A and B are shown apart, each in its own frame.
Chain A
Amino acid sequence: MAQIFHPGADTRLRLAMVALGGGLVLLFVAGDRFFGSDWFTGRGDHPAQPVPFSHQHHVAGLGIDCRYCHDQVERTATAGYPPTYTCMSCHSQIWTGAPVLAPVRASLAHDEPIRWQKVYDLPDFVYFDHAIHLKGGVGCSTCHGRVDRMPITAQAAPLTMGWCLSCHRDPAPHLRDPADLFAMDWQPGPDQRQKGEARMARLGIEPARLQNCYTCHR
């Protein structure tokens, strides 16, 4: 009787099997890449804001200190968004007629808050505290990146739990002197590890506790 398969069938079968096995591995790797990808973590996202506020201009250009607007950052969990009042403390004098600032003036006029879009939006079961991070020596740019180079503010870090833990498990490389906290261009020096560890010792920072779940989750 006639052959069911032609001679090449076996080879194809073998190839197919190899492909199947390889495919599984590939899927695994691809998945890992995907969930670390910027698209998924939102790194680089820059939601549209009611006012095209440029940190680059205000920080690099005018040299305004972070705390001029984010005035609670050293006291409380949230850095705090500036009230319209703060914007107007300058813009009642300069650019008073600029159309881009219309929403700001409207906000003051109608006592209506400006509706900024959150750039760094952590899950609600994460309890992040700005003040304690500054106290420990983690500077702004460590998580927020070179804000002074951002015409439009974007998310500079993946904000995945792994990313948080990478520092909580070994803070030393990231801890600065209080003087440098708000320096945008801070770079770790060669002796950073010693300095960092010294700081940890001085403040009693123990990774054992930092990486405990209840440090961030309650």
Chain B
Amino acid sequence: MAAASPPRQRRIYRLPEGHEFRTVTEQVAAIPLHYPQRLRWWLGFIGSSLLLGLLIVSAAYLFSEGIGVWGNTIPVNWGIAISNTVWFIGIGHAGTFISALLLLTQQHWRNSLNRFAEAMTLLAATCAASYPLFHLGRPFFFYWVVPYPNTMALWPQFRSPLVWDFFAFATYITVSLIFWYIGLVPDLAAVRDRATRRLPQVLFGIFALGWRGSAVHWERWRRAYLLVAVVALPLVVSVHSGVSLLFAVGQIPGWHTTVFPPYFVLGAVFSGFAVVIMIAITLRHAFRLYDLVTRRHLELLGLWLLATGWMTAYGYLADAFMAWYSGDSFERGTLLDRLAGPFWPIYWGAVICNFVPLQALWFPRPRRSSFVLFVIAFLVTVGMWFERYMLVISGLFRDFLPSSWGGYVPTFWDWGIFFGLIGFFLFFFFLFVRFLPAVSMFEIKEAVWEEEHDT
């Protein structure tokens, strides 16, 4: 491993000489065992529980009354339900990207981030996957999308991108879960061994699967970890490409273009990194993990954000260029509608939030300032939400025949589900931070060790 690591990499971790490893373990394991920030945690947890309540109410009302309670119409059959699916699954991307891709490319600084990034991935992907169910006209028949032997002797319609997406989502969530759990095992063991009370001992013990840290364990673990990483790698590309095809396959102007798969994937990683940055900075300050999530981390994340941001910007340009270059009057019409039509604030909101503040990251000082970085990341997250909204709604509301043009206004229940799902995300993230090692201890140790023997 060490041999393969990149030469003369600048040091990331600065830990007290001598007992680096103990400090790491103590700092991280302290969180689940004797929890430092009880008050703040409770406040945040109750807040998110309220939002979760909103989700339950909205969903109950939706299922009892029907999709009509949303703002969807003909022609805008798909409202923010679908645009949010795209948004959530996009956020979910950074997890796998950081875990798998950076692992295989030996970017050790990732080791401080992958744990909670993966947790974020799981939750975001779950939100994304649940949205299509809410949006079905007859949700109780959702399983007809799944191929299984049935008394109707029918299969799904395999040409449909929805069926592809079902597989993509299912695979993605499963693999991410496995990957995340495998990564957790050694740390669960570490927490188990530090636990003093019986209950945590048993619980962590069970999920640690009897890990004793023997060489055999480590050898097998390493093999499994890399193996799953290799499996997960294509998913980084496949999932969001699949989602993009849901649109690109339709002949609707503004959808029917070949740039969509890369465009979506890059946008996804972009938004994902933004959310990772927000979480990283929050945890760093909440639990004073300054030694584990260092300024260097923030800087690297900033650079990634800048890079993926520009790739996304390229997507915008390509999209607009093709609309003009195709000479197709409908494509041009849709482009003009986006620039100056009823939804112009959405389009320009996306452009401004995504790319303008981003440029500050060219300079080192904003990159190192957690505050500036946090603001930029937040704006990007919002900007990407605008973008998804723009892609879905402004594609549909005016397609071909002037006679079938329409409009779209989300109702309270649209928003109820959306913020409810954000609540769902936060709710479980709070639980994760509270009860699991939010940062990967042993991997940081590994990184530290390698750094020291590297310099």
Contacts and interface: CB of A to CB of B under 8 A. Distances in A.
Contact of A13 (B150, B151, B202, B209): B209
B153 A13 contact: no
A13 B149 CA distance: 32
A161 interface: yes
Given A5-B210, A10-B210, A166 B205 contact: no
Contacts of A32: 149
A60 B321 CA distance: 81
Contact of A4 (B150, B192, B209): B192
Interface in B210-248: 210
A4 B153 contact: no
A160 interface: yes
B210 A160 contact: no
B202 to A, nearest CB: 6
Contacts of A165: 152-153
Interface in A29-82: 32, 35-36, 41
Interface residues of B, dominant DSSP: loop
A160 B205 contact: no
Interface string A144-188: 000000000000001011110110000000000000000000000
Interface string B190-211: 0010000000011001100110
Interface in A1-28: 4-5, 9-10, 13
Interface in B136-158: 149-154
Interface residues of B, number: 13
Contacts of A161: 151-154
Contacts of A36: 151
Contacts of A160: 151-152
A165 B153 CA distance: 8
Nearest to B152: A161
B151 A5 contact: no
Contacts of B150: 35, 162
Given A32-B149, A160-B152, A13 B210 contact: yes
Contacts of A10: 210
Nearest to A211: B153
Contact of B153 (A5, A35, A162): A162
A10 B154 CA distance: 43
Contacts of B149: 32
Nearest to B198: A4
Contacts of B210: 5, 9-10, 13
Nearest to B209: A13
23 contacts: A4-B192, A4-B202, A5-B202, A5-B210, A9-B210, A10-B210, A13-B206, A13-B209, A32-B149, A35-B150, A35-B151, A36-B151, A41-B151, A158-B151, A160-B151, A161-B151, A162-B150, A162-B151, A162-B152, A162-B153, A165-B152, A165-B153, A166-B153
Q: Which 8 residue pairs spanning A and B have beta carbons closest together? A: A162-B153, A160-B151, A161-B152, A4-B201, A162-B151, A10-B210, A165-B153, A4-B205
Given A5-B202, A161-B154, 18 more contacts: A4-B202, A4-B205, A5-B205, A9-B205, A9-B210, A13-B206, A13-B210, A32-B149, A35-B150, A35-B151, A36-B151, A41-B151, A161-B151, A161-B152, A161-B153, A162-B150, A162-B152, A165-B153
